[in-house]
């Protein structure tokens, strides 16, 4: 009897130990048709719960695949914090069907030609695979309708479909959100008007740039709106996401009643063959770009603006692309949230050295406002030691220590970690799911109106 008791105790202890050490979600990545460098950036960092073997399926001879593998290898061989990825590559003509049939991994990473993305997502979900997709997941109304069905099937299959929203992890965006939730500083978010929106976000980007220290080579299809998507459904995905995430944190947005598109427009960036060749390495414009070529100059529909309301709050968003930034300059970003007590503004221009900086510009004439601000800021400093307020032209600038700033590439690790947490929990919050649907409705509805208006 005593032996039985001891044996039972030992077995109970062993079972308790097994339960205590039971691992969370063990991720095995499948990289599908990697034609954009964002697919490799997911692997710039190693994660303990992600298997080192990555299964890559792509068409043979793909320039995107070659660049992808070279980037991953550079992460494996760097001197500081090298990774140890083992890329197992299949390049047959049936690469997609083969991936769906073999299912060697459990999470599909998508970053490439956006024309195929909605279909890739749909069929991956049908095959029982989780999907981690670069934006945009839909580039037109038809893609949005397909995406809606994919989300519904993913939910029924308990699969996690999620897009890569890196801008949430930029410290200026996070602090702008934090401050907007402090009534003593911001007051209440205003409604604004069409001519004077309460939320404005504008960004300017450049086709010619460097990634991981090397000039970025872009594929020819990147300049075709039918494959990459118009600017109004591409970069604006991040901007629309920030509006929802900052202004209505943790809230479920219902696009059928909360979003109203008022106006939208699109226009092209012109590019000569010499400029196109410098970015792509191609000797001539491909045939599929003939429809957008006028007098040997390519018209790239990379620019767009939308005006809409979300729960009655007026928003204006614009995204522009130039060929290259003038020497000594860079991308620019402007984001303004208007409260009843102050405006919270991010500026990234010449005055800021093309580094995003955050400003607090009071609207309130209350003589006690500055003390209220400093009291609230003391609490914020506990979360971000080293944060400070300094006088600026129309209020104060928030000075941010360098340790809190992440470059574009580093943000991919942060959003990947967030996705892994959701996978470990086995679910994505309802506000995230509804937010993604609302976001892609907003961008694709803006495109529909812009194309209709600007025929």
H-only helix segments in 158-272: 171-180, 183-186, 236-247, 255-258
Token pair in block for residue 152: 């519904």
* pLDDT tens profile 346-405: 999 999 999 999 999 999 778 899 999 999 999 899 999 999 999 999 999 999 999 999
Among residues 37, 419, 442, which one has the least CA distance to residue 238?
442
Contact 190, 337 (CB under 8 A): no
Question: Could you report how far apart the first and last alpha carbons of the chain are, in Å?
Answer: 88
Q: What is the pLDDT at residue 17?
A: 37
Residue found by looking up tokens 């001519």 in the block: 195
Over residues 259-264, the mean pLDDT reads 98
Contact 242, 335 (CB under 8 A): yes
Backbone angles phi, psi at 36, to 5 degrees: -140, 145
Contact 241, 437 (CB under 8 A): no
Over residues 168-187, the mean pLDDT reads 97
Query: Cis peptide leading into 288, omega within 30 of 0?
Result: no
Q: What is the pLDDT at residue 329?
A: 81
Q: What is the pLDDT at residue 331?
A: 86
Among residues 19, 43, 36, 23, which one has the least CA distance to residue 107?
43
- In sequence order, the 6+-apart residues with CB closer than 8 A to the CB of 40 are 34, 67, 68, 71, 72, 75
* pLDDT tens profile 401-419: 999 999 989 999 999 999 9
Please tell me the distance from the alpha carbon of residue 69 to that of residue 98, in angstroms, as a whole number: 20
* pLDDT tens profile 116-157: 999 999 999 999 999 999 999 999 999 999 999 999 999 999
**Per-position DSSP letters for 117-184, written without gaps between them:** HHHHHHHHHHTT-EEEEPSPS-SSHHHHHHHHHHHHHHHHHT--EEE--GGGGSHHHHHHHHHHT-HH
Contact 118, 137 (CB under 8 A): yes
Instruction: Give the pLDDT band (50/70/90) at residue 6.
Output: very low
Estimate the crossing angle of helix 95-102 against helix 117-126, to 10 degrees.
30
> Is pLDDT larger for residue 285 or for residue 212?
285
Backbone angles phi, psi at 158, to 5 degrees: 60, 45
Token pair in block for residue 325: 């930034």
- In sequence order, the 6+-apart residues with CB closer than 8 A to the CB of 24 are 49, 423, 424
Domains of the chain: 29-163 (3.40.50.720), 167-453 (3.30.360.10)
Token pair in block for residue 334: 């402007």
Residue found by looking up tokens 């955050």 in the block: 358
Please tell me the distance from the alpha carbon of residue 130 to that of residue 152, in angstroms, as a whole number: 13
């Amino acid at each position: 009897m005593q032996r039985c008791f001891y044996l039972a105790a030992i077995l109970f202890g062993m079972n308790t130990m097994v339960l205590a050490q039971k691992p969370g979600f063990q991720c095995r990545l499948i990289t599908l048709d990697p034609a954009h460098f964002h697919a490799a950036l997911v692997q710039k960092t190693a994660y303990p719960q992600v298997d080192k073997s990555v299964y890559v399926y792509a068409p043979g001879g793909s320039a995107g695949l070659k660049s992808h593998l070279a980037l991953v290898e550079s992460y494996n061989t760097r001197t500081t914090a090298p990774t140890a990825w083992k890329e197992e590559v299949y390049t047959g003509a049936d690469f997609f069907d083969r991936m769906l049939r073999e299912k060697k991994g459990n999470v599909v990473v998508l970053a490439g030609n956006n024309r195929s993305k909605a279909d890739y997502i749909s069929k991956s979900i049908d095959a029982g695979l989780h999907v981690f997709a670069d934006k945009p997941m839909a580039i037109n109304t038809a893609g949005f309708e397909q995406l809606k069905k994919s989300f519904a099937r993913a939910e029924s299959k308990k699969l996690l479909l999620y897009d890569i929203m890196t801008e949430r992890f930029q410290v200026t965006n996070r602090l702008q959100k934090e401050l907007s939730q402090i009534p003593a500083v911001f007051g209440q978010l205003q409604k604004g008007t069409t001519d004077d929106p309460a939320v404005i976000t504008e960004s300017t980007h450049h086709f010619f740039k460097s990634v991981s220290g090397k000039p970025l080579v872009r594929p020819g299809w990147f300049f075709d709106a039918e494959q990459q998507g118009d600017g109004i459904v591409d970069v604006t995905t991040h901007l629309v996401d920030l509006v929802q995430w900052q202004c209505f944190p943790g809230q479920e947005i219902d696009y059928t009643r909360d979003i109203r598109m008022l106006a939208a427009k699109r226009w092209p960036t012109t590019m000569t063959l010499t400029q196109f060749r410098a970015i792509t390495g191609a000797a001539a414009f491909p045939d599929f770009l003939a429809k957008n070529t006028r007098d040997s100059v390519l018209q790239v529909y990379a620019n767009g603006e939308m005006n809409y309301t979300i729960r009655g709050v007026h928003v204006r968003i614009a995204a522009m692309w130039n060929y290259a930034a003038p020497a000594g300059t860079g991308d620019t970003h402007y984001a303004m949230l208007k409260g009843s007590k102050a405006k919270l503004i991010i500026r990234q221009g010449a005055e800021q050295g093309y580094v995003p900086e955050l400003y607090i510009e009071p609207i309130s004439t209350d003589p006690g406002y500055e003390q209220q601000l400093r009291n609230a800021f003391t609490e914020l400093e506990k979360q971000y030691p080293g944060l400070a307020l300094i006088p600026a032209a129309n209020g104060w600038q928030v000075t941010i220590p360098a340790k809190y700033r992440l470059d574009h590439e580093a943000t991919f690790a942060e959003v990947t970690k967030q996705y892994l947490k959701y996978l470990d929990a086995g679910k994505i919050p309802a506000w995230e799911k509804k937010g993604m649907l609302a976001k892609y409705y907003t961008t694709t509805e803006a495109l529909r109106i812009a194309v209709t208006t600007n025929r």
